[in-house]
Amino acid sequence: MADPKKLFIKTYGCQMNVYDSERMAEAMAPEGYETTEVMEDADLVLLNTCHIREKAGEKLYSDLGRMRSLKVARPEMKIGVAGCIAQAEGAEVMRRMPIVDLVVGPQAYHRLPELARGAGRKVDTDFPTEAKFDLLPERQGRRGPTAFLTVQEGCDKFCAFCVVPYTRGAEMSRPVEGVLAEARGLVERGVREISLLGQNVNAYHGQSDGADVGLAQLIGALAKIDGLERIRYMTSHPNDMEDALIAAHGDQPKLMPYLHLPVQSGSDRILKAMNRKHTAESYLRLIERFRAARPDILVSSDFIVGFPGETDADFEATLALIREVGYGAAYSFKYSPRPGTPAAEKPELPAEVTDARLHALQALITQQQRAAQDAMVGRQTTVLYEKPGRMPGQMVGKSEHLMAVHVAHEGASVGDLVQVRITAASTNSLAAVPLG
Ligand code: SAH
Ligand code: SF4
Ligand code: F3S
């Protein structure tokens, strides 16, 4: 047999890209490709890109710039650009970067093997006329204890700042049977925790024998899989929230007490300008209902600061909302104008205003995160071990609330799900001892 060819994948952006990279690697395995960690050794380099903020795009072009000498040294090496930049500006990538051999969009990567065969520069950024997931090979190999599983893709919401509806296309949900089969396959390969992914994962409405199945019902079906111990989902949208999902947090023990529900801003004026179609108040009422169903649920969010037209009062409203919710974690970003989005037409705020607001918001979030971590001390929780720690006999994993936990546990293995007591906290991690 011929020596295996080597595939190097670099992933930028969100978890959905992490998942897509795994599936692209699996799609290339029947072509004789093995993955490598060393770009210089690769026969095919894939850059799985993100378009969400300007910086993400700059990274791609600077990485490609650095790869020029590699391509000169090894002209037979192929370079492919995948993901959301491929979709948004594949033709421009091809024009600006002659070293790129192929461009493949997020909805076309089941055709990657075909694109990578033979000579010539190729672009495939078609949106689906067929079900991508049905055409990909089954999940392969031995797996770690946690896995991502994309169940929903695309977005119809068109927030004024966001490229996702253009890069990932319209909202679609995978059929229930395909999701369950993939989950069973993952569990057989050692997975004990699955995070269901979607740009608007709670908009999930899949089909099963002609019946419509929402996310809560899908979680219920997954929970019946023996050996699958934990289920998570992200990212949710406030406008797609259904009563059944809120209730599931009270009824379904395998569903972890963590809710990532981005609000973006606490000012109704800005939310309207963002085309978010929810208010600060409606968001707060939703959080209240989740806390009624599961009092200890940890809430996280995404925030954009410096959206065009954001005044000091608007920003104060965001800080007020943060104080009212009490977040356990959050991601915050400076507004970045994206080509083709409505907000990009509007004048930007001065950089120093946006910088100062980001700084203030992050200071408040860090304070809240620290408080949430500190509140865990003395409590019991389970931890799923993901890797050995740096100290001998130490294991590292995640708690139910998705906090990183270090446990002194001689003889334990990766994949063990262990009852522990939290003994100490810092802003980013917890220490614990095993019980029993
Ligand atoms: N579908 C999810 C989020 C997807 S994008 C939702 O609606 O909440 C992930 C995050 O990137 C967003 O929540 C937003 O906070 C941020 N983001 C998106 N576009 C951005 C832009 N143009 N500038 C800065 N941040 C942006
Ligand atoms: Fe982007 Fe808004 Fe869709 Fe989220 S809901 S992916 S922020 S357009
Ligand atoms: Fe980026 Fe596309 Fe994800 S733009 S955040 S990789 S959906």
Q: pLDDT of 1-18, one tens digit each?
A: 568 999 999 999 999 999
Kindly state whether residues 162 and 282 are assigned to the same domain.
Answer: yes
- At 316 the pLDDT is 98
Of the candidates 124, 157, 173, which is a domain's last residue? 124
Number of domains, the chain: 3
Q: Is residue 371 part of a domain?
A: no
Distance (Å, rounded) from C-alpha 324 to C-alpha 182? 39
Q: Select from 275, 186, 195 the least CA-distant residue to 232.
A: 195
Q: Is residue 348 part of a domain?
A: no
Q: Select from 254, 240, 237 the least CA-distant residue to 294.
A: 254
Q: Is residue 72 part of a domain?
A: yes
Of the candidates 101, 124, 147, which is a domain's last residue? 124
Kindly state whether residues 152 and 194 are assigned to the same domain.
Answer: yes
The domain that contains 19 carries what CATH number?
3.40.50.12160
User: Which atom of ligand 2 is nearest the CA belonging to 264?
Assistant: 7
Question: How far, in Å, is the centroid of ligand 2 from the Cα of 434?
Answer: 41
8 Å CB contact between 255 and 224: no
Kindly state whether residues 172 and 93 are assigned to the same domain.
Answer: no
User: Which atom of ligand 2 is nearest the CA belonging to 155?
Assistant: 3
Kindly state whether residues 337 and 424 are assigned to the same domain.
Answer: no
Residues with Cβ < 8 Å from 121, sequence gap 6 or more? 94, 100, 101, 102
Largest CA distance in the chain: 68
Ligand nearest to the CA of 334: 1
Question: 358 pLDDT exceeds 70?
Answer: yes
Distance (Å, rounded) from C-alpha 36 to C-alpha 356? 42
Question: How far, in Å, is the centroid of ligand 3 from the Cα of 2?
Answer: 36
Question: 235 pLDDT exceeds 90?
Answer: yes
How crowded is the C-beta side of 93, counted as CA atoms within 13 Å? 34
Q: Is the CB of 16 under 6 A from ligand 1?
A: no
Kindly state whether residues 268 and 333 are assigned to the same domain.
Answer: yes
Kindly state whether residues 146 and 87 are assigned to the same domain.
Answer: no
- At 127 the pLDDT is 82
Torsion sign, CA atoms 171, 18, 365, 418 = positive
Question: 338 pLDDT exceeds 90?
Answer: yes
Q: Is residue 347 part of a domain?
A: no
8 Å CB contact between 381 and 257: no
The domain that contains 417 carries what CATH number?
2.40.50.140
pLDDT in tens, 246-286: 999 999 999 999 999 999 999 999 999 999 999 999 999 99
Q: Is residue 373 part of a domain?
A: no
| Residue corresponding to tokens 């893709």 | 153
CA separation (Å) from 154 to 166, 169, 199, 242, 410? 9, 5, 6, 19, 45
Question: 201 pLDDT exceeds 80?
Answer: yes
- At 281 the pLDDT is 98
Structural domain for 218, as ranges:
132-341
Kindly state whether residues 79 and 101 are assigned to the same domain.
Answer: yes
Kindly state whether residues 115 and 155 are assigned to the same domain.
Answer: no
Q: Choose the residue to mutate in 84, 155, 235 for probing ligand 2, maximizing ligand atoms within 8 Å of C-beta.
A: 155
Mean pLDDT to the nearest integer, 127-141 = 83
Q: Is residue 12 part of a domain?
A: yes
8 Å CB contact between 206 and 221: no
Kindly state whether residues 165 and 305 are assigned to the same domain.
Answer: yes
Cβ-based neighbour number of residue 428 at 10 Å: 12
Ligand 2 proximal residues by C-beta, below 6 Å: 155, 157-159, 162, 164-165, 199-200, 237
The domain that contains 199 carries what CATH number?
3.80.30.20
Kindly state whether residues 161 and 116 are assigned to the same domain.
Answer: no
Residues with Cβ < 8 Å from 115, sequence gap 6 or more? 80, 102, 104, 122, 124
Q: Choose the residue to mutate in 52, 87, 157, 301 for probing ligand 2, maximizing ligand atoms within 8 Å of C-beta.
A: 157
Of the candidates 284, 313, 341, which is a domain's last residue? 341
Question: How far, in Å, is the centroid of ligand 3 from the Cα of 308?
Answer: 22
Determine which of 82-86, 117-121, 163-167, 421-425 has the lowest per-residue pLDDT on average: 117-121
Kindly state whether residues 289 and 226 are assigned to the same domain.
Answer: yes
CA separation (Å) from 306 to 24, 114, 165, 271, 303? 36, 44, 22, 12, 10
Residues with Cβ < 8 Å from 175, sequence gap 6 or more? 131, 206, 207, 208
- At 129 the pLDDT is 65
Q: Is the CB of 179 under 6 A from ligand 3?
A: no
Q: What percent of the chain has pLDDT over 90?
A: 94
Q: Is residue 95 part of a domain?
A: yes
CA separation (Å) from 128 to 134, 167, 324? 12, 13, 42
Question: How far, in Å, is the centroid of ligand 3 from the Cα of 347?
Answer: 24
pLDDT in tens, 44-73: 999 999 999 999 889 999 999 999 999 999
- Go through 374-406 and write b for each residue having 16 or more CB atoms within 10 A of its CB, e for each that does not: eebeeeebbbbbbeebeeeebbbbbbbbbbebb
- At 56 the pLDDT is 87
Kindly state whether residues 103 and 227 are assigned to the same domain.
Answer: no
Hey, what's the torsion of the CAs at 151, 155, 156, 162, to 10 degrees? Answer: 170
